[in-house]
Amino acid sequence: MSIVILIELIIYFVAMLLIGVYFSRKELGYDDYHLGGNKLSGWVLAFSERSTEASAWLLLGATGFAFSTGLSSIWLFIGMLGGIIVSWLFLAKKFMEERIKYNVLTLPDYLSARFPKHGNLIRAIGALIIIPFFTFYVGAQFGGAGNTLEQTMGIQSLTGILVIAAVVIIYACLGGFLSVVWTDAIQAILMVLTLVVLPIVALFKIGVEDLSIIDALVQAGNGVNSWTGGVTGFAVGILIYTNLSWAFGFLGGQPHISARFMALRSEKDVKTGRNVAITWGVLAYGGSFLIGITGITLYGSGNVENVEMILPIMLTDLLPVWLVGILLSGILAAIMSTASSQLLVVTSSISEDVLHKIMGLKLTEKQFVVISRITVIIVGIIGLIFGLMSKSLIYVVVGWAWAGVGNSFGAAVLLTFFWKRVSGAGIIAALLTGSISTIIWISTPLEDIFTSRGATLVLALLAGVIISLAIPDKKDFSTEKEEGIKTI
């Protein structure tokens, strides 16, 4: 293990902690702690939205996927980029406007305010979906960080998990949403720097050594040199749809992403954020794809035991030690930004949706902030325990979270934003159908036939439409207006 890399990582961890300490010294209100209190600009929120979504799956999983599948992986990156564009063009402004109109802090809180007659039931179902799935998800990020440090630096996995968990829990606890967003912004810059610099260096080496990317893809076999993975007929459509279906996760259903949209202050911030996020997506996804392709050219498709380590391998092989430490921080940044954001989502759901709204606790803002900080610590410790458990259990639940949480809330958001006849009963049906069908789908051979990401959103939308038509709401605008007034 290089002492230079170790020192750079320590400096990075200390910087993250100092951000948390900085915001903890400010007078944080309840809104500040959970949604920034209108104190964050559009570009910061855009960087935060990008880094909190693009966890280790992008720097490790997606690059490994491109390395193992070749040209056909392009559909995955097109799907993700399409999701970013759609969410910022059609959802971000709407989330901001609805948050201002109903004065809410969380996604379940918003849906409850929109359908007040079913409010507490929607909050309860939303909390039951978010809290367990995202707590497991936090644990998965901790586990992934430990695995990365072990394979890249020789640090024991247990030590790595404990260090990452401690840093994340401390800065999330101290500064809440403000510290999480600002650390996210720094982490987003590190991530995109890693994904841009590495493929440029790899392409330069390929040129110097007079290697052929086309020849390497052909020699790899298994359809690596085909944009359709070497399949034909109906299988082409399945392959493309399966990869493009990653875009569904951006349709308003991921609470840690939608929180960034809700925190926007103005239409100007929306436009700024849109430009930053889309530019980041083009650079990051393009870089991830090129890392996979150049990795095949440099190493051959069958010569790397763990394909998800292709990025760390290329870092250590192609770059000087001092730069490796900086860009390795980009991998840890991806993990930590997602873990801290999801940790805060779980905390907000417990504090706002359960304790404040469902149980009706009457406390001061300072008391609620204290409870929120305690909740961050407790949930973080539970996530840490999951991170130390069997990885197979954790990564199954990660799949549930992307499809189950994303498609459940995604269907509810799409129906609420764009269909006037949706009812509270329809929203409940969409939430239940999306989450339950995902669990069933992933737990059966159906997942091997057709991805749950592309199936359960459709099922949730259908359920929401059918139940809304069967059980329509009787509009009561005065009640809806009252429910939108939030008091502490």
Chunk the chain into consecutive blocks of 10 residues (it has 488) and report each block's average pLDDT, rounded to whole numbers.
81 88 82 85 92 79 89 92 93 94 91 93 91 83 78 79 89 87 88 92 94 92 89 86 83 88 94 96 95 93 81 88 81 80 87 86 84 90 82 55 85 94 95 91 82 87 96 66 45
Residue 292: what pLDDT?
93
Residue 397: what pLDDT?
57
Full-prediction pTM beyond 0.85?
Answer: yes
- Burial letters 208-237, b for 16+ CB under 10 A, else e: eeeeebeebbeebeebbbbeebbeeeeebe
Q: Which domains does the chain have, with CATH numbers?
A: 3-394 (1.20.1730.10)
Rounded to whole angstroms, the Cα distance separating 399 from 401 reads: 5
Rounded to whole angstroms, the Cα distance separating 407 from 252 reads: 9
Rounded to whole angstroms, the Cα distance separating 193 from 302 reads: 28
Residues 6+ apart with CB under 8 A from 267: 93
Residue 409: what pLDDT?
93
Q: SS3 of 236, please?
A: helix
Nearest CA to 212 out of 294, 319, 317, 304 is that of: 294
Q: SS3 of 200, please?
A: helix
Rounded to whole angstroms, the Cα distance separating 267 from 339 reads: 29
Asked if 128 and 119 touch (Cβ cutoff 8 Å), the reply is no
Residue 44: what pLDDT?
94
Residue 338: what pLDDT?
80
Residue 417: what pLDDT?
95
Asked if 71 and 245 touch (Cβ cutoff 8 Å), the reply is no
Asked if 126 and 431 touch (Cβ cutoff 8 Å), the reply is yes
| Tokens 């995604």, residue located | 410
Residue 243: what pLDDT?
84
DSSP secondary structure, 118-159, as one string: GHHHHHHHHHHHHHHHHHHHHHHHHHHHHHHHHHHH---HHH
Nearest CA to 281 out of 70, 94, 83, 91 is that of: 83
